[in-house]
Amino acid sequence: MTKRLALHGGTPVRAQLLPYGRQSICEEDIEALVAVLRSDYLTTGPAVETFERAFAEAVGARHAIAVSSGTAALHATMAALGLGPGDEVIVPAITFAATANAALFVGARPVFCDVDPDTLLLDPCAAEARITERTRAVVAVDYAGQPCDYDALARLCGKHGLHLVADACHSLGGTYDARPVGSLAELSAFSFHPVKMITTGEGGMVSTDSAEWASHVRRFRSHCMSRDYRDRDRAGTWSYDITELGYNYRLSDLQCALGTSQLRRLPGLIARRREIARQYDEAFSELRAVAPLKRTRSTGHAYHLYVVTIDPDRVRADRQTILKALKAEGIGVNVHYPPLHLLSLYQRRLGTRRGDCPRAESLCERIMSLPLFPDMTEADFTSVIAAVDKVFSHFGR
């Protein structure tokens, strides 16, 4: 017996839309932020360094530099590596636009590479086939929170003399062979957007073991000035030089204080995400039309997203209809992401087209992300399961 779908005028499983992701803010977070409002510095004060130190320690890196967004973090990594016109950067076809845009910001060319069909992670073999004499770096994206195969990628980069950058915007708190994300590539970029693992409203971080790159990112986030206001105070001078083109990519003390408080909660937030993912796995093991993405054995998944693939042979509807039906039931499903090389900016600027990354193109027609965030209640969770059951028993075959 199937109930009438909300899409067809039936009663929705939920009255209010459940978003696919959402921040978790507690009293301590609020107090940490308010304390900065009462202090001397709203930006470029002591809360920045406190956050950076705690972050570096949490991810096992020598240096962490706070910046204003994950996009700024990626831009800063490209600039630190000195990439520019004539250089190529390999990026996976399935990622957020910022991964590729970071290369464009410095005048380099992003080269889209196909993904592993089971995990949607950058495929090292496909990456190798994209290497030319202009290739300078590979950006690995830990899609959905699952770290890439960093041993294979490091071998590949070592063999061809390339830099390895991690877009770790999904995977803070994850591990690869018991090593924390943030210590796995030469430079790693993080985002603190509200849907990510921890939040500062907007914000980002770069982690690296290199003092030279760390220092470049520090200058880059503040106009590449040769001396900041503290150095000038210490030296008793008002003069400074601008050595390169830099930006205002600073993260304020308000945001950093929130970040430090959130970072303290990271282990609990990750544990909760993993628990919800485990319950989803269990609940969906009976359904034949949907399957979660494959997990690799060597990684500790951070579960930024819970992504399932739909088996087109087992449903009598296209994905668009399924997404609409779930949305009508009150479930905030989402698609991460349309393959970048098919979006008009990249087609126009880079001449990319359909057929360039066939696995990404066909998989993106079958994936959807279900709501997953630490503050989901038991009732939220149950409503997702009920809606998925309802929609797939209607459209299933």
Ligand X SMILES: *Cc1c(COP(=O)(O)O)cnc(C)c1O
Which positions are catalytic? 196
- Residue pair 181/156 in contact (Cβ under 8 Å)? The answer is no
Stretch 278-337 residues interacting with ligand X (CB under 6 A): none
Q: Residues in contact with ligand X, total (CB under 6 A)?
A: 14
Report the residue number, 190 or 381, with the smaller CB distance to ligand X: 190
- Piece of 9-17, 26-34, 63-71, 221-229 that binds ligand X (CB under 6 A): 63-71
Distance CA 364, CA 269 (A): 28
Q: Residue 58 corresponds to which tokens in the numbers above?
A: 């949490």
CA 60-247-228 angle, to 5 degrees, is 75
Q: Which of 70, 145, 180, 259 binds ligand X (CB under 6 A)?
A: 70
Q: Residue 295 corresponds to which tokens in the numbers above?
A: 């997990």
Stretch 132-171 residues interacting with ligand X (CB under 6 A): 141, 167, 169-170
Does position 204 interact with ligand X (CB under 6 A)? The reply is yes
Does position 23 interact with ligand X (CB under 6 A)? The reply is no
Exposure of 60 by Cβ count < 10 A (0-12 exposed, 13-18 middle, 19+ buried)? middle
Residue whose structure tokens are 């999904």? 170
CB of 302 to ligand X, least distance (A): 12
Does position 69 interact with ligand X (CB under 6 A)? The reply is yes
Q: Which of 96, 213, 284, 346 binds ligand X (CB under 6 A)?
A: 96
**CA distances in angstroms from 377 to 12, 45, 273, listed in the order given:** 18, 37, 12
Strand order in the sheet with 367-370: 290-292, 306-310, 367-370
CB of 259 to ligand X, least distance (A): 12
Stretch 183-202 residues interacting with ligand X (CB under 6 A): 191, 193
Question: CB nearest ligand X: which residue?
Answer: 70
- Interface mask toward ligand X for 354-383; x: CB under 6 A: ------------------------------
DSSP state of 5: P
Nearest to 52 by CA among 218, 234, 178: 218
Does position 99 interact with ligand X (CB under 6 A)? The reply is yes
Does position 77 interact with ligand X (CB under 6 A)? The reply is no
Distance CA 384, CA 386 (A): 5
Residues that bind ligand X (CB under 6 A): 69-71, 95-96, 98-99, 141, 167, 169-170, 191, 193, 204
